[in-house]
Structure 1
Amino acid sequence: MKKILFATSEAVPFIKTGGLADVAGSLPKNFDKEKYDVRVMLPKYMCMKEEWKEKLVYKTHFYMDLNWRTEYVGVLELEYEGITFYFIDNEYYFNGFAPYGDTYTDIEKFAYFSKAVLSSLPVIDFRPDIIHCHDWQTGLIPVFLDNFRYGNEYYRGIKTVITIHNLKFQGTWDPKRVRDITGLPEYYFAPDKLEAYKDANYLKGGIVYADRITTVSNSYAQEIRTPFYGERLDGLMNARANCLSGIVNGIDYDEYNPATDPHIVKNYSVENFRKEKIKNKTALQEELGLAKDPKTMMIGIVSRLTDQKGFDLVAYIMDELCQDAVQIVALGTGEERYENMFRHFDWKYADKVSANIYYSEAMSHKVYAACDAFLMPSLFEPCGLSQLMSLRYGTVPIVRETGGLKDTVEPYNEFEKKGTGFSFANYNAHEMLGTIRYAERIYYDKKREWNKIVERGMNADFSWKTSAKQYEKLYDEM
């Protein structure tokens, strides 16, 4: 039986700010229980919902040295959906209204958390074979582990994996302060270890000391070895390329299931989508005040409205696109200029464009179910989940070939009758428009072909089961 410990700063259903929480909360329950004992450790935040806090069971507590201070470490425990979750308790570090605050407090908070994870192992009686770290918040775990091995037999032979969910966030601060916070010897603050561009860099420390490094898609693993995507760590990524691999995230196939989804007007499946899916479209047209016409191609966008997501391209061709026989439904919030851009076109083409500048889980499900196509022209995208949801709902993704989008959406090929979506390669507004118009042409002139694309997309499997199998393989290689 292999013992695996996930160390993470967030996990569903307890606390979530982004996709990391989905991975840490959903992936563990999809491993083969006969062969892997997977448990999860995360901070006990004050801002967690009461319903979770009152279910936690006190396990133990102890005091730990963090350089010149002695800190309380409480360990609480909860079994949820067959997985043991441990919560590290310290009110000084984990109070606050959100899991992350300003950089300096986060730097100290996650140094404490990383050391507490390792220090609690002997007292909770769980010695993992592998500690699976996620993002910069747990980047110091492999570093502390290296330090603990000197003179402490218990920690020898524990292996580490670090998963990079987004290389943009690295956790950097002044080396002198980080030494003071962590108590790590000066030896670790060298350019071949923690130091990068005169800063101490948590993620870099994790990448240098972990036994294996993964990212959330194969293409992203290749891309971060180039200067454009490498966020100034491309040299290190190349140096560790032999330990670097990509495994695509999954989505929860129970939660995102058009056959049982309670949020949508008409449930449907791959067997009957030709007749039933369209009822969601006409219902949404009515709800949002768009022209009621089941035949019009509807394009959906559910996203943070930021540069990373390619909205400068959308803004550039929006007027041209609105001349076509399409409707556009956007849902999300973000940079003011993009929010206002969508509001403007909603005003100018009221029966064609609907700007919903807020976020709601229920509304996102309606958009996935109602639309014919889904637009996602990201500048970079480590994995991306929206395209996986679209495929699941039979909504054809139109994406830029980058990161996880390139790995999960197979471009339509009309000669070989293959593909699950449409894609374009260059970060160029008119190349994107050309691809959207190609999709329009297939939708209007080759309806049977279009339905085949939908069918292939709905039959693809991007559930967590598939990801878990690849992680199992990685653990076994280690």
Structure 2
Amino acid sequence: LQFRYTLLCHAACEAPLVLPLGGYTYGEKCLFLVNDWHAGLVSVLLAAKYRPFGVYKDARSILVIHNLAHQGVEPAATFKNLGLPSNWYGALEWVFPTWARTHALDTGEAVNILKGAIVTSDRILTVSKGYAWEITTVEGGYGLNQLLSSRRSVLTGITNGIHIAEWDPSSDEHIAFHYSAASLSGKVQCKTALQQELGFPIKPGCPLIGFIGRLDYQKGIDLIHWAIPELMEDDLQFVMLGSGDPLYEDWMRSAENTYRDKFRGWVGFSVPISHRITAGCDILLMPSRFEPCGLNQLYAMRYGTVPVVHATGGLRDTVENFNPYAGEGRGEGTGWTFSPLTKDCMLNALKTAIRTYRDHKSTWEGLMRRCMQKDFTWENAAIQYEQVFEWAFIDPPYIM
């Protein structure tokens, strides 16, 4: 894997100089957008192999971090395969702490490509403002927090956009009925159609909660596992779509047998089903331990499905906690955020959302409309990206 991405990075550095991309060569004054560790070697190569010889002195590189947990760490012996001068080993040097080593003779020495990219990139982007802060903390920095803190002046968070043509409740080909913020009647019909498809009793007034995502520790699936028995005591329906840890896949199948009229677990992934769950549910639950940006809450809001999320990363940035007393009593906010990440805290937020859905219909409708009116388009994100591109060329390039 390391070899493949090393080859990609070397090719990416040569391409603007020699290939007619779009009919002409870009030349030396260009911008490299470096995505995660997989392309991280591009920034290191520019600093180590090109700029010292006067090549790419007017080029810039911007590192985009989507998930800091993935860093491209390999044994130190693989450094010789990266095509870097030997005196650049320190830029990628990584030593695992004693507790993380495999045995007593393990020195913990490795190379970390993402570390090298953080050191040498001209600007650093990540996929939400909240995550840009979290990766500078001990809890969210995965060992790179001090390095990222030292580069805080060039670190920016920009929330991802969504494809509004693909995710549009007024024209979505995957859902049975269409609707918009101006006319919400189709959402009730989508809910009824989803209940029918899942084999639930048809109960338009019963809260329908959804979860879409990988079945793993990061997504907080263990909290849902422990909370389901208590949730199932209430008059509600819960549907989950996802795959991952076989333990939780088996649990979903078992829960479906235990709570036949209230729970459905769809093991696997299906784009059409994900659209129908997003359109048909009243509430989307996302108890992620960390979430650099998160897209499902953005899709949910686009479809008037109110998110209940753990207050972390992009979830905290994009979901505004509901305040019923704001706006001269009309209420403000687009969902519920909860913290700390515990089962009880999650249940409290869910129960508050369920009570609001049942007892305050006009308030809930206001929530839905505010969700649907939010602007999470790529056009909005692109304007912010262009600003960072401009900043990158204002400052001189990285030179060691």
What TM-score does the superposition give when structure 1 sets the normalisation length? 0.76
Would you identify which runs of 4 or more consecutive aligned residues in structure 1 move more than 6 Å?
none
Aligned residue runs from structure 1 range 379-394, under 5 A: 379-394=289-304
- The one of 32, 41, 50 equivalent to 1:149 is 50
Instruction: Work out whether 1:211 is the aligned partner of 2:211.
Output: no
- The one of 202, 210, 221 equivalent to 1:300 is 210
Aligned to 1:46: none
- The one of 130, 133, 137 equivalent to 2:38 is 137
Give the Cα separation in 2 of the matches to 1:151 and 1:433: 58
Aligned to 2:86: 186
Q: CA deviation at 1:108?
A: 1.0
Give the Cα separation in 2 of the matches to 1:339 and 1:357: 6
Aligned to 1:115: 10
Aligned to 1:244: 155
Instruction: Work out whether 1:168 is the aligned partner of 2:69.
Output: yes
Aligned to 1:158: 59
CA-to-aligned-CA distance 1:290-329 (integer Å, 9 cap, x gap): 1111110100111111110001111111100011121001
Give the Cα separation in 2 of the matches to 1:346 and 1:182: 50
Give the Cα separation in 2 of the matches to 1:317 and 1:120: 53
CA-to-aligned-CA distance 1:381-409 (integer Å, 9 cap, x gap): 00110000000010000000000000000
Q: Secondary structure at the match of 2:175?
A: coil
Q: CA deviation at 1:176?
A: 2.6
Give the Cα separation in 2 of the matches to 1:324 and 1:187: 64
Q: CA deviation at 1:148?
A: 2.7
Q: CA deviation at 1:151?
A: 5.2
Q: Once superposed, what is the RMSD of the aligned Cα atoms?
A: 1.1
Aligned to 2:338: 424
Q: CA deviation at 1:150?
A: 4.6
Give the Cα separation in 1 of the matches to 2:141 and 2:55: 36
Tell me the percent identity.
38
- Higher mean C-alpha displacement, 116-125 vs 217-226: 116-125
Instruction: Work out whether 1:475 is the aligned partner of 2:389.
Output: yes
Instruction: Work out whether 1:378 is the aligned partner of 2:276.
Output: no
1:251–1:462 contact (8 Å) kept in structure 2: yes
Aligned residue runs from structure 1 range 51-90, under 5 A: none
Instruction: Work out whether 1:226 is the aligned partner of 2:137.
Output: yes
Give the Cα separation in 1 of the matches to 2:228 and 2:383: 42
CA-to-aligned-CA distance 1:261-309 (integer Å, 9 cap, x gap): 0100001111111x22110111111111111111101001111111100
Letter in 2 for 1:260: S
Letter in 2 for 1:184: L
Give the Cα separation in 1 of the matches to 2:202 and 2:6: 56
Letter in 1 for 2:355: R
Give the Cα separation in 1 of the matches to 2:247 and 2:320: 32
Give the Cα separation in 2 of the matches to 1:147 and 1:305: 41
1:148–1:155 contact (8 Å) kept in structure 2: no
Letter in 2 for 1:237: L
1:129–1:157 contact (8 Å) kept in structure 2: yes
Give the Cα separation in 2 of the matches to 1:419 and 1:314: 24
Aligned to 1:462: 376
CA-to-aligned-CA distance 1:10-53 (integer Å, 9 cap, x gap): xxxxxxxxxxxxxxxxxxxxxxxxxxxxxxxxxxxxxxxxxxxx
Q: CA deviation at 1:233?
A: 0.9
Aligned to 2:110: 199
Q: Which runs of 5+ in 1 are unaligned?
A: 1-105
Letter in 1 for 2:345: E
- Higher mean C-alpha displacement, 245-254 vs 140-149: 140-149
Give the Cα separation in 2 of the matches to 1:403 and 1:243: 19
Q: CA deviation at 1:235?
A: 1.3
Aligned residue runs from structure 1 range 7-22, under 5 A: none
Q: CA deviation at 1:241?
A: 1.2
2:49–2:84 contact (8 Å) kept in structure 1: no
Q: CA deviation at 1:377?
A: 0.4
Letter in 2 for 1:321: L
Aligned to 1:263: 174
Higher relative contact order (CA 8 A, sep 6+): 2
Q: Secondary structure at the match of 2:163?
A: coil
Instruction: Work out whether 1:439 is the aligned partner of 2:328.
Output: no
Distance 1:151 1:315, change over 3 A: closer
1:189–1:195 contact (8 Å) kept in structure 2: yes
Aligned residue runs from structure 1 range 391-430, under 5 A: 391-416=301-326, 417-430=331-344
Q: CA deviation at 1:419?
A: 0.3
What TM-score does the superposition give when structure 2 sets the normalisation length? 0.90
The number of residue pairs the alignment matches comes to 369
Give the Cα separation in 1 of the matches to 2:268 and 2:51: 52
Q: Secondary structure at the match of 2:189?
A: helix
Give the Cα separation in 2 of the matches to 1:185 and 1:174: 17
Letter in 1 for 2:309: V
Letter in 2 for 1:332: G
Letter in 2 for 1:157: D
2:48–2:88 contact (8 Å) kept in structure 1: no
